[in-house]
Chains A and B, each alone.
Chain A
Amino acid sequence: DIQMTQSPSSLSASVGDTVTITCRASQGVRNYLAWFQQKPGKAPKSLIYGVSNLQTGVPSRFSGSGSGTDFTLTISGLQPEDFATYFCHQYSYFPHTFGQGTKLEIK
């Protein structure tokens, strides 16, 4: 199975900051990499598919990049509603796998 490792596991930031979350795959996943946001007690929300494509309705302050095994999610100009947990997801190979999550907290 492909292991997805996110870093950091948690992160403190302030409104207006720019933050970057990294996701590393144990082997190449081509461009089949997605990012999800989850708030406590809620279902995940899809943010990005195919490394860098924003889902409909996702603000442009979210962006994704990377290739092969190394990927990043960047949030530029944090808003109060962005404080949540973020998961990367590879769907290049079965079984699909997720990163362990990065909790973004308010400083």
Chain B
Amino acid sequence: QVQLVESGGGVVQPGRSLRLSCAASGFTFSSYGMHWVRQAPGKGLDWVAVISYDGSNKNYADSVKGRFTISRDNSNNTLYLQMDSLRAEDTAIYYCARERLYSSGWGIDSWGQGTLVTVS
């Protein structure tokens, strides 16, 4: 079955960097686009970034553009989020999510359990 496992979260000082990982298993990772979505404590969902199946296309939320970089290693079935110049407002649970293509369209179908990033 599809499994997405995030890691790399923790407590970091403002201005510092952190790299999150999302280990994928149970499906052909290299065939799927992947997203990062975050959720600040007690708040709603906030889309962060997306990367195409082959890594050739990436898009970011305005709030993280220029500071965060999404990437992937298809040989190791891993998605990454490099977070630089972290701010207090980046404090959140970070989820990776898979984007699936159906005959009738596409959409996010699977989520990891999340990893907590605290900037303080």
Contacts and interface: CB of A to CB of B under 8 A. Distances in A.
Interface of A: 1, 31-32, 34, 36, 38, 43-46, 49-50, 53, 55-56, 87, 89, 91, 94-101
Contacts of A49: 102, 105-109
Given A36-B45, A87-B45, A101-B44, A44 B104 contact: no
Interface residues of B, number: 24
B44 A100 contact: yes
Contact of B105 (A1, A31, A95): A31
Contacts of B113: 43
Nearest to B93: A43
Given A32-B107, A50-B107, 11 more contacts: A31-B105, A34-B107, A36-B108, A38-B45, A43-B111, A44-B95, A53-B105, A94-B59, A95-B60, A97-B47, A101-B44
Given A95-B60, A95-B61, A95-B62, A46 B109 contact: yes
A72 B111 CA distance: 23
A99 B37 CA distance: 13
Contacts of A101: 44-45
Contacts of B111: 43-46
Nearest to A31: B105
B50 interface: yes
Contacts, number: 68
A50 B106 CA distance: 7
A99 B44 contact: yes
A43 B22 CA distance: 14
Residues of B contacting A: mostly: strand
Nearest to A42: B113
6 contacts: A43-B111, A49-B106, A49-B107, A50-B104, A91-B108, A95-B47
Contacts of B46: 98
B43 to A, nearest CB: 9
Interface in B59-89: 59-62
Contacts of B107: 32, 34, 46, 49-50, 53, 55, 91
A34 B108 contact: yes
